Structure 1
């Protein structure tokens, strides 16, 4: 209610970061944890796909009334759409090295492209998104931009991972407090 419905429809939400901050991350992580613990995996994906399509259309219709705010990560229809995508892919087993490579770096992609300074640099500086808002190529530009951002940020996080593997991780592994297992 506080971090999704309020920012969607009521002015002056408790957190006004557009869903890009730690609060939304914790909310989504909690929802994912709840789904993992309590969801019946025998549900059919067709229901989630239909809900996702309806929510996508709803988000588009909201964007006509609420302009850009309906595309923010804390907008209720975007959150529901994300949850439906999670539900769809939760039931799919993928054994692709390419997909698993890029999935491994998804959190790094989120962290890199979600930073306000990086976002401005990418969207205004490199991709010139503001030039495509009223263009016939808007949708094409969105898809190409998403693909490029994901690939470049994955590569950046890959090199960060390699760097940490030989520098930071050996130091952390020697510190006893970081090596204790948490038993739930």
Structure 2
């Protein structure tokens, strides 16, 4: 493979992006698929926002380019990237600039109802941010529902085990099948519910 590929996992807060991202990584490791994992939330986690006209997305892109550059130098060509809005069309240019014009983007939007998201957030947000996170999650869910392109793979997470969700996400990449085809026999992924 002479170009990079990125699996972009987006979704509202409480949809399960981080948990699913790590389970996807576990499945890829089990199938011997080389990859790197980046939680996009950490790429722009600064306060206050950068001075001047540069939006916070500028520091995110700089950090993504630097971290991906290190991975690429070591020979990695596949990235699992989690971030709320990474699946939107306006995010694609950032990945092309950071990872190369020919990067193949596989975009997966994890969905969850308000009730599910709030339950998950209540278990996760133990400090002062719960109410803020619940409000922002609902707003981002509406934004993603309205603006995610038709070619984005949508995966429902309500009431489903993370193993099943991750299997569906990995299937969207074609990475395990591609490796299995080129390497002969490969381990079969665990069956999904359905």
The bucket for the TM-score relative to the shorter chain is under 0.3
Which has the larger strand fraction? 2
Which has the larger helix fraction? 1
TM-score of the superposition, structure 1-length normalised?
0.24
Larger Rg: 1
